[in-house]
């Protein structure tokens, strides 16, 4: 199952509204276990993992065990339900990890398997699988995407400096890791202040993974994004949305649309800021399961204040920015109080900390 969960990571961020799940078909003949079919949910979400793995296994599926990271589906899509396909292929045992909250499945997949005479072993490494499918599961549970806030902090607690453009805080190894996180997210979100200060590209620029740049979203109620922003360069290839108020200038909207930008409607909250819960609701309804919030300080602070941060990544660099720096909205000490530390690792000279929301 651990291998299946790792394999399922392969299409994270690339399966549309579907989770990236995986199936391994394993035979236990003399000579030890042998994988005879592997499948991961295909790009865009179909075909499902089971279909792919069963096709590879062919006749070898008869009498074999299938390891599935998510309960097999029970509904008719473009193909019959995966649970029925497993029965028809002659699989005799299904070991499954996470339960599927989709109301079309939700226990019905396992029921089809049992009725078809398959031995079902559910819940194996369920927590690990749920972590790898957490975006999908969060969207079903909360009707909004899972939010990861990621920030690079200098040793003196700064995330940048006003008026100095992009300030290099973290090193090359940590930056490559950030691009990997971008690649597996459905969308990257920043505030317009970051666009004006840093003029970021917000793409995945790792060799071989450049096709995996996710949708980019800028919270920009007044449409202050310049038509000449670097974001415009690839806005026709990578969907790029500005979250704008209905009162924003129509002329600017037209110019930005011509430059390749799209728009989401912003609703104001009682403080006049863009209402983040409503924005997340909209994104969830569009099938966005994971968003990576990359800054700046004001937007990050709003997400933290609204208690909308599910995962927090802090990357702490040894450099100092100085007194003209922009202070990060949260440091390691406060993060450790509000969140669980789940991973701590060193990348080059930087320390990378991952936290998860404390439940309850």
- Taking the C-alpha atoms of residue 350 and residue 360, their distance in angstroms, rounded to an integer, is 32
Q: Which pair of tokens denotes residue 86?
A: 């497993």
The interface region with ligand AOF, picked from 97-105, 189-197, 227-235, 348-356 by CB under 6 A, is 97-105
The answer to whether 46 contacts ligand AOF (rule: CB under 6 A) is: yes
Class of residue 302 by CB neighbours under 10 A (exposed 0-12, middle 13-18, buried 19+): buried
Least distance (Å) between residue 73 CB and Zn ion: 3
- Taking the C-alpha atoms of residue 286 and residue 149, their distance in angstroms, rounded to an integer, is 20
- Taking the C-alpha atoms of residue 192 and residue 181, their distance in angstroms, rounded to an integer, is 21
The answer to whether 116 contacts ligand AOF (rule: CB under 6 A) is: no
Closest CA to 314 of 159, 188, 107, 171: 159
The answer to whether 226 contacts ligand AOF (rule: CB under 6 A) is: no
Q: 240 and 215 in contact (C-beta within 8 Å)?
A: yes
Q: 167 and 328 in contact (C-beta within 8 Å)?
A: no
> How many residues make contact with ligand AOF (CB under 6 A)?
17
Return the active site residues.
Answer: 50
The partner in contact with residue 46, picked from Zn ion, ligand AOF, none with C-beta cut-offs of 5 to 8 angstroms by kind, is ligand AOF
The smaller minimum CB distance to ligand AOF, of residues 19 and 135, is found at 19
Which strand (E) or helix (H) includes residue 312? Answer: strand 311-316
Q: Rule CB under 6 A: which of 72-91 touch ligand AOF?
A: 72-73, 77, 82
The answer to whether 18 contacts ligand AOF (rule: CB under 6 A) is: yes
The partner in contact with residue 122, picked from ligand AOF, Zn ion, none with C-beta cut-offs of 5 to 8 angstroms by kind, is none
Answer for which of 13, 19, 135, 193 binds ligand AOF (CB under 6 A) is: 19
Least distance (Å) between residue 118 CB and Zn ion: 15
Binding footprint of Zn ion on the chain (CB under 5 A): 48, 73, 82
**DSSP letters of 98-124?**
E----TTTTTHHHHHHHHTT-EEE--T
Class of residue 268 by CB neighbours under 10 A (exposed 0-12, middle 13-18, buried 19+): middle
The partner in contact with residue 5, picked from ligand AOF, Zn ion, none with C-beta cut-offs of 5 to 8 angstroms by kind, is none
The smaller minimum CB distance to Zn ion, of residues 8 and 295, is found at 8
The smaller minimum CB distance to ligand AOF, of residues 2 and 227, is found at 2
The answer to whether 49 contacts ligand AOF (rule: CB under 6 A) is: yes
Residues that bind ligand AOF (CB under 6 A): 18-19, 21, 41, 45-46, 48-50, 70, 72-73, 77, 82, 100, 102, 105
């Amino acid at each position: 199952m651990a291998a299946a969960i790792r394999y399922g990571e392969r299409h994270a961020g690339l399966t549309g509204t579907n989770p990236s799940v995986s199936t391994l078909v394993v035979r236990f003949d003399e000579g030890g276990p042998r994988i005879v079919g592997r499948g991961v949910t295909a790009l865009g979400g179909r075909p499902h993992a089971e279909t792919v793995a069963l096709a590879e296994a062919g006749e070898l599926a008869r009498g074999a065990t299938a390891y599935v990271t998510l309960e097999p589906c029970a509904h008719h899509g473009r193909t019959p339900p995966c649970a029925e396909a497993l029965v028809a292929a002659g699989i005799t045992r299904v070991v499954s990890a996470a339960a599927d909250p989709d109301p079309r499945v939700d226990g019905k997949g396992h029921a089809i398997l049992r009725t078809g005479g398959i031995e079902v072993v559910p819940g194996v490494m369920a927590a690990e699988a749920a972590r790898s499918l957490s975006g999908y599961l969060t969207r079903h549970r909360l009707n909004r995407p899972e939010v990861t806030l990621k920030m690079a902090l200098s040793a003196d607690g700064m995330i940048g400096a006003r008026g100095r453009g992009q300030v290099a805080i973290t090193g090359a190894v940590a930056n490559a890791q950030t691009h990997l996180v971008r690649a597996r997210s459905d969308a990257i979100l920043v505030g317009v202040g970051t666009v004006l200060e840093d003029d970021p590209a917000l793409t995945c620029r790792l060799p071989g993974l450049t096709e995996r740049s996710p949708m980019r979203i800028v919270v920009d109620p007044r449409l202050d994004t310049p038509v000449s922003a670097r974001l415009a360069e690839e806005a026709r290839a990578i969907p790029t949305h500005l979250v704008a108020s209905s009162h924003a200038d129509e002329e600017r909207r037209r110019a930005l649309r011509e430059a390749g930008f799209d728009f989401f409607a912003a609703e104001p909250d009682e403080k006049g800021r863009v209402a983040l819960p409503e924005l997340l609701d909209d994104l969830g309804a569009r099938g966005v399961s994971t968003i990576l919030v990359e800054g700046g300080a004001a937007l990050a602070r709003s997400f933290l204040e609204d208690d909308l941060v599910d995962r927090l990544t802090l990357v702490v660099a040894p450099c100092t920015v100085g007194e003209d720096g922009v202070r990060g909205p949260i440091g390691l000490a406060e993060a450790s109080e509000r969140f669980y530390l789940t991973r701590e690792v060193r990348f080059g000279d930087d320390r990378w900390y991952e936290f998860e929301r404390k439940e309850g």
